[in-house]
Amino acid sequence: MDAATMAEAGEPIRTLRPSWRERWFHGLGWAGFAIVAIAALINAARPTIKIVVMEPVNVWLMYFLWNYAYNVTIGVTILLAVVWARNRVPGRGIRQYTIVFLAVAIAAAASLLVVEAWETKGTFGSDDPTWTLGHAALGLGSDWVHFLLLGLIIAGAWLYVLAEADHVAALEQCAVDSARMDQQTAEAQLQVLEAQIEPHFLFNTLANVKRLYDTDRASGARMLRNLKEYLAVALPQMRETRSTLGREVAHATAYLNIQQVRMGRRLAFAVEMPERLRTVPMPPLMLLTLVENAIKHGVGPSPNGGRIDLRASIDDDRLLVEVADTGLGFTKSAGGGTGLANLRARLAGHFGGAASLSLALNSPRGLIATIVLPYKDAAANRGSA
């Protein structure tokens, strides 16, 4: 339950607080340990190089491994301190760098004292007759400066890696946000375009019903029955963003039945669609737009009327939906207007460059309007249509 739902239900809104691990060690990962391992390896190898030619290999190896473990212990302690300091003081700036420096200095000193105490069994070398406090302090101080520098290198490298990771994450988040905004914008534009298309054909149809009723009541009554059938098909999907080829063909057929009453023998039509393609997803109103365009600019203005054929087929991985008419062919208005312009915009919004709309001359006359859709993508989404 989100905050808004909890507020509406009258429940107190609980703020999720990060755990102590997230507060103290957020960002600690394998990259940090890899930095420590590499730095410790270099630091441990440096003092052992001079004895590798003087001692047997097994002696040198034991000395190197001890020195490496010594450096790793102090390095990990410093890394944990740096991670803690960075998480306690988030954000970049002099304040964070100061806290990180102090954390490195304290961690280097504390870990050095612990390791020296464990190595000398708590005596810090005081059981040596030549031991003096000043000599011990000088030795520990020299080691502390050495490990302070090592710690600063580890801290700098880790902060750089973390900053780069944050930068990449920020870029990825920006890309996600941008894609989400683009999708929301495209959806809003599609809704506007579809809202323009709906009245475009509905109002024209209602005007035709009125005109027929004024001139021929029998034809008007028949057209009203066809309009009822048309609305029974059209209204359930007017506001849907998904449809199927079968539903769109039924939608277009109901529309053509209405136009056939209006035009009489001047209009004939046929549908050729394999049964297996009926369930293929297709955005709503696209086929109807082509049919209306064929009526308005092709068959309707033609003195002898014409024929409209609706065809659907598969060509490799493409779904081809054709509306062929035997009307006037190419005219000044045949390829323009709101309907086809909106259809092209909707195709681009739904499928990008994977879909297209083309117009070609029909034989012996008229036009063929073809919508090409990605068939495999449509088939993959068939269950969600």
Q: For residue 213, is it within any domain?
A: no
Same domain, 93 and 237: no
| CA dihedral for 375, 377, 379, 384, sign (positive or negative) | negative
Strands 306-315 and 267-272: parallel
Distance of alpha carbon 225 from alpha carbon 284, whole angstroms: 23
Same domain, 36 and 136: yes
Same domain, 174 and 49: yes
Distance of alpha carbon 323 from alpha carbon 290, whole angstroms: 7
Same domain, 141 and 280: no
Among 178, 209, 242, give the residue marking a domain's end. 178
Distance of alpha carbon 288 from alpha carbon 257, whole angstroms: 13
Q: For residue 318, is it within any domain?
A: yes
- The verdict on whether omega for the bond into residue 364 sits within 30 degrees of 0, i.e. cis, is yes
Structural domain count of the chain: 2
Same domain, 251 and 107: no
Among 178, 208, 239, give the residue marking a domain's end. 178
Cα angle value 294/307/328 (rounded, 5°): 55
Among 143, 178, 213, give the residue marking a domain's end. 178
Residue 257 tokens, joined: 């039945």
| Residue 308, pLDDT score | 96
Which are the contacts of 265, defined by CB distance < 8 A and separation ≥ 6? 305
Q: For residue 225, is it within any domain?
A: no
Q: For residue 251, is it within any domain?
A: yes
Q: For residue 129, is it within any domain?
A: yes
Q: What is the DSSP letter of 305?
A: -
Same domain, 132 and 62: yes
Same domain, 24 and 169: yes
Domain holding 364: CATH number? 3.30.565.10
Q: For residue 202, is it within any domain?
A: no
| Residue 370, pLDDT score | 96
Strands 318-325 and 267-272: unpaired
Positions in the chain whose pLDDT score sits under 50: 1-16, 377-385
| Residue 246, pLDDT score | 94
Same domain, 48 and 139: yes
Which are the contacts of 301, defined by CB distance < 8 A and separation ≥ 6? 327, 328, 331
Same domain, 133 and 240: no
| CA dihedral for 13, 16, 17, 20, sign (positive or negative) | positive
Distance of alpha carbon 150 from alpha carbon 46, whole angstroms: 13
Residue ranges of alpha helices (H) inside the chain are 3-8, 20-25, 30-48, 57-88, 94-119, 133-215, 217-234, 245-263, 286-294, 337-351, 375-380
Same domain, 46 and 171: yes
Domain that residue 47 falls in:
17-178
Same domain, 234 and 375: yes
| Residue 158, pLDDT score | 76
Q: For residue 151, is it within any domain?
A: yes
Distance of alpha carbon 289 from alpha carbon 277, whole angstroms: 20
Same domain, 245 and 165: no
| Residue 65, pLDDT score | 83
Is 362:372 a contact under the CB 8 Å cutoff? no
Residue 185 tokens, joined: 């914008």
Q: For residue 200, is it within any domain?
A: no
